[in-house]
Structure 1
Amino acid sequence: MLNLIWLKSLTTLIEQHSFQAAANQLGLAQPTVTQHIQKLEEMLCVPLIKRGRSGCQPTEYALRLLPYATSMLRLQDRALQAVQQPSMRVGASSNIGIYLLQPYLQSYLSTQTRQQDPLDLVIDTNPTIAEKLENAEIDIALMEWWPPKTGFDSQTWKTEPLVLITPPDHALTQLPSISRTMLSGLNLIGGESGSGTGRLLKTYLQDFQQMPTITMQLGSTEAVKQAVRAGLGISLVFASAVVDEVQHGSLCAIPLEDSALKKSIQIVWRHQSLGYDKRPEFVEHLLQTSINLNPAGL
């Protein structure tokens, strides 16, 4: 098995570019750090460090190992913290963390009458949040798309309608809604990848031979909104993501016909293997608390 102490010496050496500097950082003797690297190289049967006039540089093998070593060390810190200083880390995909979750966090914290474990919120892309959950870097995740996996429980938290957003002067703003037929032939700006919107569209438009054309792929809903405001195109986003812009008149949001295109927001948590099925307290709060976040008039 990989020795975490050796891995710590390796990651510190890569960061410091010097055995002596790494030893000072770790509070170890320089020969000890050298020994850790040698043992790791012997175990893996590959060279990990190149020595040169400019200092120590990682080999290609070390660079391949580095993200795994970093993840293992981070997981160790989380394991120790879970025992010694418990905390709860909630992860959310970008749209959920930015546009939906904040009032629920405030409500949860305001109802706690006892001393509670610290709560941290991590916001990232949907695939990254899924990876962090599987790696035990977060305890609870809220995601736009989650494929069921062994060892995890999940439940639909709420459904969020998608709307077509356009500049105020766009011709489509005269329509009360967008039909499936019309949607299938549109050119759209794409948002954050890995959020499940593409899968949702394929199901929604499964009876049509044509799918919307993605003209450009942007990394976030905020970037999409700015692009639409600049007249670069139109797009599909969470209705909750454009409440302020619609109220201020900088964007228009057109609902889909019969409000049929909705995304199910999933709460996912690690299965409790203690002989009972009690859900985490924060999960219970999310499922029981009723806060109206549906944008009026969309």
Structure 2
Amino acid sequence: MLNLTWINTLVTLFQQGSFKAAADSLGLAQPTVTQHIQKLEEQLGIALVQRGRSGCHPTAGAQRLMPFAVSMLSLNQRALAAVRGEQWRVGASSNIGIYLLQPHVRSFLAEQGDAALDLVIDNNPTIAQKLSQAEIDMAIMEWWQPLDGFESRPWRNEPVVVIVPPDHPFACLTEITPEHLAGMALIGGESGTGTGRLLAEFFARADQLPSVSMQLGSTEAVKQAVRAGLGISLVLASTVTQEVEVGALCAIPLAGAGLNKELMLVWRTTAGAQVPHFIQHLLASPAPHSSATNSSVRPL
């Protein structure tokens, strides 16, 4: 087992650049810092520090170790904070964290008073990875593959709409059918959100599925591309509310039952543990009305 005290000394040494500066930063005697590094080198069986006129630098082995060292120290701090009930880290996939979650965070903090939340926003696969690696405590996601040790509950159903510029031929439609999209190329956004699975369910035949012309990585990039006339795309309705209200984009629902994405709340479970307070708050919070699919505000 790696000794976290030695790991902390190594990280501090490279941050400070010298044994003396590291000792001062850690409040230790310089021989103690040297001893920590020597013990870590003995345990790993490699040299970790290169000494030179410009200070101390990591060897190739130390460079490979550093990302894990920093992660271990961060996880240690999070574990201590969690045990003390000091802070919770909440992860959210990009669309949820940017467009949906902020008012709920604000109302939770106003309600709890002394609660502390650290919000992490990233793409859906990264949030899933952070959750599985205990880098975050809970998550709100567009798509989740159930795993042992985690509990999940539906939070809300969010409509998926087709977005087009106001001068597009589809802009006058009240709904989009599979025939409209068959064979078309759609602009792709964030990967790993489950939109492709929903689209496959919408089409009766796989050979009618539209293709992806560009994979832009974010809804903001997709919206700008659609506004520029580069194509059309599928997005969550709440991500284009403002653009629809000012007439910059048209958001058109899909025909029939349409497409709805079930947003999920996910958290790590332990024996006897209660549902986290923030999860309880989200489950009790009403979903705000989205005007993006309201035909009365869609420009014709």
TM-score normalised per structure 1: 0.88
Following the alignment from structure 1 to structure 2, what is the Cα–Cα distance between the partners of residues 206 and 67? 47
- Partner residue, 1:269: 267
- Partner residue, 2:148: 150
Tell me the amino acid that sits aligned with residue 152 of structure 2. S
Counterpart secondary structure, 1:168: coil
- Partner residue, 1:136: 134
Tell me the amino acid that sits aligned with residue 64 of structure 2. R
Following the alignment from structure 1 to structure 2, what is the Cα–Cα distance between the partners of residues 233 and 16? 51
> In the alignment, is residue 290 of structure 1 matched against residue 286 of structure 2?
yes
- Is the contact made by 1:108 and 1:282 (CA closer than 8 Å) also made in structure 2? yes
- Unaligned 5+ segments in structure 2 are 296-300
Tell me the amino acid that sits aligned with residue 290 of structure 1. P
Counterpart secondary structure, 2:256: helix
- Equivalent positions of 1:168-207 (< 5 A) are 168-205=166-203, 207=205
Following the alignment from structure 2 to structure 1, what is the Cα–Cα distance between the partners of residues 69 and 145? 27
- Equivalent positions of 1:77-88 (< 5 A) are 77-84=77-84, 86-88=86-88
> In the alignment, is residue 2 of structure 1 matched against residue 2 of structure 2?
yes
Following the alignment from structure 2 to structure 1, what is the Cα–Cα distance between the partners of residues 256 and 162? 13
Following the alignment from structure 1 to structure 2, what is the Cα–Cα distance between the partners of residues 220 and 187? 17
- Unaligned 5+ segments in structure 1 are none
- Is the contact made by 1:14 and 1:56 (CA closer than 8 Å) also made in structure 2? yes
Q: How many residues align?
A: 294
Q: Could you report, residue by residue, the CA deviation over 1:253-274 in whole angstroms, capped at 9, with x for unpaired residues?
A: 1211224322110000111312
TM-superposed deviation, 1:189: 1.8
- Partner residue, 2:249: 251
TM-superposed deviation, 1:206: 6.4
- Is the contact made by 1:75 and 1:135 (CA closer than 8 Å) also made in structure 2? no
Q: Which moved more, 1:165-174 or 1:200-209?
A: 200-209
Following the alignment from structure 1 to structure 2, what is the Cα–Cα distance between the partners of residues 200 and 48? 50
- Is the contact made by 2:152 and 2:266 (CA closer than 8 Å) also made in structure 1? yes
- Partner residue, 1:232: 230
- Is the contact made by 1:184 and 1:208 (CA closer than 8 Å) also made in structure 2? no
- Is the contact made by 1:167 and 1:251 (CA closer than 8 Å) also made in structure 2? yes
Following the alignment from structure 2 to structure 1, what is the Cα–Cα distance between the partners of residues 18 and 190? 40
Q: Give the superposed CA RMSD.
A: 2.3
TM-superposed deviation, 1:201: 3.0
Instruction: Pick closer, same or farther for the CA change 1:206–1:26 going to 2, 3 Å.
Output: farther
TM-superposed deviation, 1:187: 1.4
TM-superposed deviation, 1:75: 1.1
Identity of paired residues, percent? 58
> In the alignment, is residue 27 of structure 1 matched against residue 10 of structure 2?
no
Q: Could you report, residue by residue, the CA deviation over 1:16-37 in whole angstroms, capped at 9, with x for unpaired residues?
A: 3333332232222333222222
